Structure 1
């Protein structure tokens, strides 16, 4: 993959260009071949958010702030999914107290399991996404700390 702003090579899954700091998540911000990226750079009116790289300003600040916002959003979605799971489980727990043991209870459990399958899958995805974002944030914070030490 190549950055559409500066044309440098980036790894699959990177959220920001390591050279210019541009976000790679938007449509058309990363290309498969360097030719497409160079053509895009010459015809692209947008400029990357460099955060004043070379001017003494922190080049990691915007990236870290963006990742922190993504983390907050993912955590909020995770809370919503957990609330949905809790609500469904409590509904079936109340129903269980009225249903006698036997086939009706087993059918109720099967229906509950079917209704919870999607939310459980979504919860797992969100947990994985949060873990990945936290790892990226940690890497950026380490790089920022190294940058600060080199600057001193």
Structure 2
């Protein structure tokens, strides 16, 4: 949903409102007990997806450490639109790497207008994760995320070597 620019529709006795999915989940900050933008008494009534040709060619991959429904070590949702051998639009979101879904806008920007190759996918992932802050025990996620981004985009483009 983060990769596809979803909007969350909310309703309460005070009325209705809409929140972009990327703004719906909150970072811990001063109030780690508040995970979302939901206000007391609000309900989610709908999730709206913007129309996008990239959504028509999309995939999701969840990497976990055992064969179960375990929390993702890394997940990648991506959509890819290719026209005339170039990337016209690309959407990438990561899960399992931050306190909320992470939209990979640096990677997206570096890929638009480029030929879809594994090397470019890896370079875009490098650009996105260059400033990643890791802790003891989770540094492996950076390389895992890079490889998963490249694998998902490779699958979507047909260059999954």
Q: Same fold (TM over 0.5)?
A: no
Q: Which has the larger radius of gyration?
A: 1
TM-score calculated relative to the size of structure 2: 0.30
**TM value normalised by structure 1:** 0.31
The structure with the greater share of residues assigned to strand is 2
